Chain A
Amino acid sequence: MNSQITHLKQLEAESIYILREVASEFSNPVMMYSVGKDSSVMLHLAMKAFAPAKPPFKFLHVDTTWKFKEMIEFRDNRAKELGFDLVVHSNPTGIEMNISPFEHGSKVHTDIMKTEALKQALNAGAYDAVIGGARRDEEKSRAKERIFSFRDKYHRWNPKSQRPELWSIYNPAIQKGESVRVFPISNWTELDIWQYIYLEDIAIPSLYFAKNREVVEYEGTKIMVDDERMPKELRETAKKEMVRFRTLGCYPLTGAINSTATTLPEIIKEMLLSTSSEREGRLIDKDEVGAMERKKIEGYF
């Protein structure tokens, strides 16, 4: 007599359950909002979990100052439309130093404008729970990540001594200064995310859809000319191509792919037929082997 609910509804219920646990167990939680498709899904889930009220926590965007212009516009529009509490943080020291991925390389840029900025924002907010959009299917080191992932007072992750996590009973116990990273969409796959966006009609930035855009070849990938900060000699090589992005981040570090997919079903079709993993276009992971594991230990998501 129990009608089995579909896998997407089960995933949705699990995520909502996790978000409500966070709201109940922590005094000052925050949801990371990176403007990408996974963040859009998380925001949607948070709106559902607490309706008719607004989500009882803030949304934090770490702005490296090198994000696509469209992402920033999209972010501010969403905050206005849905009325959620948005906090934006950029590393002031990094801005002063004029950190540029073109000049200083992706590692320095990411360390200062992303990892360091995130730590600053988390310390400033004194958040005891930080909700992130990581999925277990994204990367090998994430397959083992807990849904409630403990971080010491330096925001570090210790992969070798994770708390056992059973059933849907999550352990939120921490000392002052420590925190928990919470991953409500751990069990979603990339296909689930796209399918859900499609079914629930969730707004995402148009950068995900193919369009004629000005791109240049840079370190083995195509990147988009988004502003004047791209070195002039590089900009001069720009040509228009039909491209889209599979992930969104800093424009100099986010590779475009050639594509004609202008609708969600076309994107999904393209994804199903491709053999390369989602993060291929993200330059950060290529820096060194095991980059993600190292970054996580240091406190990056």
Chain B
Amino acid sequence: MENIEAYLKEHENKDMLRFLTCGSVDDGKSTLIGRMLYDSKMIFDDQLSAMESESKKYGTTGDKLDMALLVDGLQSEREQGITIDVAYRFFTTEHRKFIIADTPGHEQYTRNMVTGASTADVAIILIDARKGILTQTRRHSFIVNLLGIEHVIVAINKMDLVSFSEDVFLNIKKDYSQLVEELNIKNSYYIPLSALDGDNVVNLSEQMPWYKGKALLNLLDTMSVGKELKSEEFRFPVQYVNRPNLDFRGFCGTVASGIVQVGDEITVLPSGKTTKVKSIINAHDITEKNNNVESNKASASMAITLTTEDEVDISRGDMIVHSKSLPRVSNSLKVMLVWMDEKPMELMKSYNIKGVSSLVEGHFEHINYKIDVNSFERTEVDSLVLNDISSCKMLLTRPIAADAYGKNRLTGSFIVIDRVSNNTVGAGMIVNVAKREEDSFKSSKTYTKSEKALNQYIRDFFPEWNCKEV
């Protein structure tokens, strides 16, 4: 029984990595996923085989999981037409738990790929060794980069069909490194693979002795991800106000970035009021018997409840930050917007903009340019349709505290909700928060003559209303 406890101890301390697979059926994506799911199950068996022989009762584990079947399963789903979506799959290795976001690769499914990429730390871009870099490779790389994924594994698959040629591999690698430069991809890794035969998936291939890097699973298992990228500035979006009785008023949320300690000077945004952290309850430490465990500090990703020294008005949607490192607060933002609805985006139309916990009404005032996901060319447009990606100016009806997405994925992202259909119609990444606030109604409408006359009348006779000129 010692073995299982050692195993549990090991599993307890694993970290988690979320990755996205980009490619189409033809690239062998399903085969690769099937291979990883299958082979990671083998790892359990290795670890537990000692125990297994101890107890004949369980018989052979004899992995009946037929990889072909697994792959067929994915394909039959595809035939039913319902994989036009993101499917999440899970597996575990010695060091990590993995969550795969499996998304379709065709252009009409850009929105699904964007969805899958939004939570991924790493992307695997599949390239068919026979075909090299295709338009879709450029598209996938662009989206992955747009969504802030800083680690791209270029999996050059079907090496068996090009006689495991190092030249083919090196040529594709050379071509892709131009893309890396063009897009400014931070970390790229190249692996020659044959997903079908498992070459360089779990074990290093004997067919490609010239390849000196790691096998794919080993790379995923050991790569250092996220740590170096996370902003160290304390950001705490207030999610929920917990007020069980008059003596307790706690602000619940998950630390988006940085570290907070009891006694820290904090500012509540957008109001700008300041106070100090009085106590921190870390939800992770709460047990059934003790529900009031206080911590001295908490760091990124932890679910906590904060209390403050002074009675400050704080509500859901506010952001608590360190007074020494404030983010910008404004209602005017430059954003990258991905349109996700069949109904086109309309300039000046009022949408609900939902951030990590805030909800504000706003509109898009101007489209700076639309970007072609295949050629990266920029064009001028005045409306956006499904799967369009563009740079826009967004104006909100009240200011919010936000960071640039490149600095903080959590406090720099938002979704767009249609106020009538309630659908999620867009997703956005903040590029820049304006220094100052802007009048969000400035140019949002052309006024009729009679409206202008009424406006004039009000300004003349009711100056105390502070009505602005239209």
Where the two chains meet, the residues of A that have a C-beta atom closer than 8 Å to any C-beta of B are 1-13, 16-17, 20-21, 23-24, 44, 47-54, 82, 136-137, 140, 143-144, 159-160, 162-169, 171, 173-175, 186-187, 189, 191-192, 195, 198-202, 260, 265-266, 268-270, 272-275
Contacts and interface: CB of A to CB of B under 8 A. Distances in A.
A47 B417 CA distance: 31
Contacts of B223: none
Interface of B: 1, 4-5, 7-8, 11-16, 44, 48, 51-52, 57-58, 61-65, 73, 77, 81-90, 92, 96-97, 99, 111-112, 114-115, 118-119, 226-227, 230, 232, 239-240, 242-244, 248, 252-254, 259, 281, 283-284, 286-288, 291-292, 299-303, 305, 316, 340, 352, 354-357, 409-410, 413-415, 417, 422-424, 427
A166 B115 contact: yes
A166 B51 contact: no
Given A167-B410, A168-B356, A175 B230 contact: no
Given A7-B15, A53-B244, A171 B87 contact: no
A160 B352 contact: no
Contacts of B57: 260
A275 B58 CA distance: 10
Given A2-B299, A144-B82, A175-B422, 9 more contacts: A2-B230, A6-B13, A21-B357, A52-B248, A54-B244, A169-B354, A169-B413, A265-B4, A269-B4
The 4 closest A-B pairs by CB, nearest first: A53-B244, A7-B16, A173-B422, A51-B291
Contact of B303 (A13, A165, A186): A13
B8 A265 contact: yes
13 contacts: A2-B300, A6-B12, A6-B14, A7-B96, A13-B254, A144-B83, A166-B424, A174-B422, A175-B422, A187-B99, A201-B288, A269-B48, A274-B61
Nearest to A171: B424
Contact of A47 (B88, B111, B286): B286
B2 to A, nearest CB: 10
A235 to B, nearest CB: 28
A21 B13 CA distance: 28
B410 A164 contact: no
Given A272-B44, A273-B61, A164 B89 contact: no
B97 A192 contact: yes
B356 A171 contact: no
Given A10-B16, A13-B284, A49 B415 contact: no
A6 B12 CA distance: 7
A269 B55 CA distance: 11
Given A7-B97, A13-B284, A166 B254 contact: no
B226 A4 contact: yes
Given A50-B242, A166-B415, A171 B96 contact: no
A144 B299 CA distance: 31
B94 to A, nearest CB: 13
Contacts of A3: 299
A202 B287 CA distance: 9
Contacts of A7: 14-16, 96-97
Q: By CB atoms of chain B within 10 A, which of A53, A136, A174 has the most?
A: A53
A166 B118 contact: yes
Contact of A167 (B4, B48, B232, B413): B413
A167 B239 contact: no
A143 B87 contact: yes
Given A52-B248, A260-B57, A273 B52 contact: yes
A48 to B, nearest CB: 5
A158 to B, nearest CB: 11
Given A144-B82, A164-B111, A9 B284 contact: yes
Contact of A12 (B97, B232, B284, B413): B284
Contacts of B52: 273
A171 B422 contact: yes
Nearest to B87: A143
A13 B97 contact: no
B417 A17 contact: no
A17 B299 contact: no
Contacts of B352: 173
B283 A144 contact: no
A51 B239 contact: no
Contacts of A136: 88-90
A163 B253 CA distance: 24
B227 A2 contact: yes
A16 B242 contact: no
Nearest to A265: B4
Contacts of A260: 57
Contacts of B88: 136, 143-144, 186-187
Contacts of B115: 164-166
A171 B417 contact: yes
Contacts of A169: 354-356, 413-415
